[in-house]
Structure 1
Amino acid sequence: MSAKLSVNINKIATLRNARGGNTPSVTEAAKNCQLFGADGITIHPRPDERHITLKDVYDIAPLITTEYNIEGYPDERFMKIIADVKPTQATLVPDPPDVLTSENGWDTVKNYDFLVEVIQRLHSMGIRTSLFIETDAKMIENAAKVGADRIEFYTGPYAHNYSKDKAAAIAPYKESAAIATKNGLGINAGHDLSLENLEFFADEITDLLEVSIGHALISDAIYLGLENTINMYKKLLL
């Protein structure tokens, strides 16, 4: 089976918020992305509402016909959102509130007890859990021990090094993917994946289940159109 494409629509909300009002509409974006072939919708409702707002989270929920993936740091605000909306998946990131974008994975050793408690709460709600993580064997092994269903590889380093040496760029991910699979973890990926580097990543990480792509995809859609862009990304995952 090919990996699923979840479209992160944060950047649609960023553009809307720059002008105020409701143009472009994040609800229309969510509906159209699914209509155009996306396998899911991803959002990251940060506390400062710099892009997705709390209202957006609830407005989008009834429009989801595929999968709803909500990313965030699992504080009580986030946990209430998950309890209310009950998305398909909660992707947990270790971000403090003021960071620009997620660029660090969980330390699953240092945060072991915290993550066990959070994941148990999410599982009691029937929510699939994924931990944003780097290519560190110990952190991946502990992701399984704390009870995560999946990991989401932080693919920023892969994207950064792809044009220099794609074999070297993918190597740590292949090794880490084998560890994840051995420990019973599903594999997602996200951050800086693009039309340039996605196909090679998906071909090499054979157990890849899902990619979450926002910035590059929405940027490409400005020039190529949203439907065409989604189809282009989907073809790279076949």
Structure 2
Amino acid sequence: MSLRLGVNIDHVATVRNARGGIHPDPVEAALLAVKAGADGITAHLREDRRHIRDEDIKRLRAVLRAPLNMEMAATEEMVDIACDLKPHACCIVPERREEVTTEGGLDVAGQNALLVPVIRRLSDRGIRVSLFVDPDPKQIAASAAVGAAVVELHTGAYAHGEDGELERLRTAAAQAAGLGLEVHAGHGLSFGNVAPVAAISQISELNIGHFLIGQAIFDGLPSVVQEMKRLMGAARGAAL
């Protein structure tokens, strides 16, 4: 199975918003990333609009020729926006105003009643629905049961070096694929830790943002996208 790279451009908007105005433009960054080899673009429209704004999502949808993955909370406002814009995919994530970044996966098993109608409504608009979950067997099974097409495995604990997390990711990826789910992964991945995750054969996409945007300050965005793609390809090739 080939392995795609989705580049999250949220933190280009973070830098822009620190001073206001229009520079740096996350849409320009998205187009540059795709030109450099990114297979898709991810952007998280948060309730508090702390980085990506409504106009950014609209412009991305209008100009991107690569798939747009809109990260969002399962709220009526976000579902309305997604159904109007019809991005290629929506990844539903947990969201709390006080968190700095997404701190863990959805409790799919405990939010069945909330998620089923949201997934159905998005799917009816032709949007692929992904659920951002921890590599937990209960959450993987629940994701299949509520009708999601994709699970994105939260790699934050792995990225922080917690014992046993790589094996948990491998087990979760195999379980999800066995249930007919497409498997993605992301959070905290970098040049230094991406290879073992990229080598998991059931994973078809990695979504990476903060590291790439930060490293781009030193090396330039095209260079870091190309290097991440090289590392991912090498890891997948070595695993075959």
Fold in common (TM above 0.5): yes
3-state secondary structure, aligned to 1:237:
helix
Partner of 1:233: 228
**For residues 56-205 of structure 1, what are the structure 2 equivalents within 5 Å?**
56-161=56-161, 168-203=164-199, 205=200
Distance 1:227 1:108 in 2: 36
3-state secondary structure, aligned to 2:110:
coil
> In 1, are the aligned partners of 2:3 and 2:206 still within 8 Å (CA)?
yes
Partner of 1:220: 215
Distance 2:2 2:198 in 1: 8
Distance 2:41 2:12 in 1: 12
Partner of 1:35: 35
Q: What is the percentage of aligned positions where both structures have the same residue?
A: 41
**Gap runs ≥5 in structure 1:** none
3-state secondary structure, aligned to 2:160:
helix
CA deviation string 1:28-52 (max 9, x = no partner): 1111111111111110011211110
Between 1:109-118 and 1:84-93, the stretch displaced more is 109-118
- 1:177 partner letter: A
3-state secondary structure, aligned to 2:91:
strand
- 1:180 partner letter: A
Of 197, 204, 209, which residue of structure 2 is paired with 1:209? Answer: 204
3-state secondary structure, aligned to 2:69:
strand
**Gap runs ≥5 in structure 2:** 234-240
Distance 2:133 2:15 in 1: 28
Cα RMSD (Å): 1.2
3-state secondary structure, aligned to 2:184:
strand
Question: How far apart are residue 19 of structure 1 and its match?
Answer: 1.1
Question: How far apart are residue 96 of structure 1 and its match?
Answer: 2.6
> In 2, are the aligned partners of 1:133 and 1:139 still within 8 Å (CA)?
yes
3-state secondary structure, aligned to 2:217:
helix
Distance 1:200 1:147 in 2: 29
3-state secondary structure, aligned to 2:161:
helix
Question: How far apart are residue 104 of structure 1 and its match?
Answer: 1.7
Distance 1:116 1:169 in 2: 29
Distance 1:9 1:2 in 2: 23
Distance 2:41 2:103 in 1: 20
Return structure 1 stretches of 4+ with deviation > 2 angstroms.
96-99
- 2:59 partner letter: D
Question: How far apart are residue 208 of structure 1 and its match?
Answer: 0.8
- 1:11 partner letter: H
